[in-house]
Amino acid sequence: MASSTLFSMCSSKRESFDIKAINSNKEFKFNTTSNLLNRLPVKAMLSSEFTNSRLLTDENSLKWGQSERFLRNRMQCHAVPAYPTGKKFQLDDVIEAQQFDRETLNAIFEVAKEMETIEKNSPGSQILKGYLMATLFYEPSTRTRLSFESAMKRLGGEVLTTENAREFSSAAKGETLEDTIRTVEGYSDIIVMRHFESGAAKRAAATAGVPIINAGDGPGQHPTQALLDVYTIEREIGKLDGIRVGLVGDLANGRTVRSLAYLLTKYLDVKIYFVSPNIVKMKDDIKDYLTSRGVEWEESADLMEVASKCDVVYQTRIQRERFGERIDLYEEARGKYIVDKGVLKVMQKHAVVMHPLPRLDEITVKVDADPRAAYFRQAKNGLYIRMALLKLLLVGW
């Protein structure tokens, strides 16, 4: 085994990477900008003469070839700031709606728009060639999984699929999420993860050396849904500042409407209307947050009046599973606010109806044929947003 001396090195998701080392009397230098950090250099090292050789540092005698996380946690960093000029933004993981500021949202949307123009077999359709995405789903969500896998493949990337990830942590085996992540990151360049526990994605990102995308973690976050909702408003209405949005249906439990309300605070002069059965009203935390950010909001029991004033009527499904035994309450709630031809009649010509899908009958099928029915276009926008995120996380801006 050859011996190497490490002179300087930095490894973190957020800074650039600078390495000088001597291996068998040959001097090596590495430098890389940060968004490639966790992948390329370590891979380069793994596959270079450094593999399994030793790094002599103050602290210890270390081996190359160990997990990136180890390097990140153990090494003292002497980082050179990356992207000193012309830097747009930095994206390491996609975990929660709260991580995005207005500038970042705009940048993602700009890339998503490029994604809409990528044609079969054009150069753009191969920008992720050679990259491997693992979809690590602890519970099935076929819709979300297909959207991510389509996004990856539309860009020339490849996919490892599992909807069976609970098997990793089955009773008999009992592996921790952290161990699973460290195994799967050895097989892939990025992990799209769906979990049944709130906070799981954050834990995964803390462990992983490859980027993590949260595709929903229990009652917690589903940030790509939030992004595609805002993107759809911008594509359909042409603006986000000054927008009037009516949120309708189950506002207590629906994480999409909560995240959307949150993200709309990034824009100016927004007004939000809440229209919901009493039993599933928007909770105070979001209302207070809107107020604290100077966003106007109003509760209303009159869908027709709200629909006539809004740019966007965002309908959601009343989730039966929230009502337990009280089917009577569920039936009462779900029938209360239906988007139908009557609602369309009072809506403005430029306005649109959105819905995160799947729907039951809270939007009648007759609405589908109206050009203002935007929900299937919204689903398609999910593809473009996910293409954009995969590009940004894997090859950067």
Q: Using the rule CB under 8 A, is 72 a contact of a copy of itself?
A: no
Residues 302, 300, 293, 216: what is their CA dihedral angle, to the nearest 10 degrees? -80
Residue 355 is among the residues annotated as catalytic for this protein: no
Question: Which residues inside 146-175 make contact with a copy of itself, applying CB under 8 A?
Answer: 146-147, 149-150, 153-154, 158, 160-165, 167-168, 172-175
- What is the nearest approach in angstroms of a copy of itself to the Cβ of residue 360? 5
Out of 359, 364, 396, 397, the only residue in the binding site for a copy of itself (CB under 8 A) is 359
Active site residue 145: no
Task: Tell me if 291 contacts a copy of itself by CB under 8 A.
Answer: no
The helix or strand, by DSSP H or E, that contains position 246, with its residue range, turns out to be strand 244-248
The whole-angstrom separation of Cα 266 and Cα 396 is 24
Choose the stretch contacting a copy of itself; rule: CB under 8 A; options: 79-87, 102-110, 242-250, 353-361: 353-361
Q: Which of 194, 195, 203, 334 is catalytic?
A: 194
d(CA 364, CA 22): 69
Which parts of 299-328 interact with a copy of itself (CB under 8 A)?
317, 319-321
Using the rule CB under 8 A, is 6 a contact of a copy of itself? no
- Residue 10 sits at φ, ψ, to 5 deg, of -145, 135
Catalytic residue among 143, 283, 345, 380: 143
C-beta closer to a copy of itself: residue 46 or 80: 46
Residues of this chain, 227-256, that bind a copy of itself according to CB under 8 A: 235-236, 238
Residues 240/122, Cβ–Cβ less than 8 Å: no
Does 196 sit near a copy of itself (CB under 8 A)?
Answer: no
In the complex, least distance from residue 67 CB atom to a copy of itself, rounded to whole angstroms: 5
Is 144 assigned a catalytic role? yes
- What is each CA distance from 246 to 10, 98, 243, 272, 276, in whole angstroms? 48, 21, 10, 6, 10
Q: DSSP secondary-structure letter at 339?
A: B
Catalytic residue from among 85, 117, 142, 173:
173
Out of 140, 219, 242, 335, the residue judged to bind a copy of itself by CB under 8 A:
140
Active site residue 222: yes
Q: Does 357 bind a copy of itself (CB under 8 A)?
A: yes
DSSP per-residue letters across 53-100: -EEE-SS-EEETTS-HHHHHHHSPP-PPPS--SS-----S-B--GGG-
Q: Which is nearer to a copy of itself, 295 or 313 (CB)?
A: 313
- Shortest reach from residue 113's CB to a copy of itself, in Å: 9
Q: Which is nearer to a copy of itself, 21 or 286 (CB)?
A: 21
- Peptide bond preceding 123 in cis form (omega within 30 of 0): no
R_g (Cα) of the chain, nearest Å: 24
Structure-block tokens of residue 363: 């939007």
Can you tell me the distance from the alpha carbon of 367 to that of 344, in angstroms, rounded to the nearest whole number? 8
The counts of H helices and E strands in the chain are 13, 14
Taking the least distance from each CB to a copy of itself, the nearer of 5 and 60 is: 60
183 binds a copy of itself (CB under 8 A): yes
CB of 222 within 8 A of CB of 200? Answer: no
What DSSP string runs through 185-198? Answer: TTT-SEEEEEESST
List the catalytic residues.
143-144, 173, 194, 222
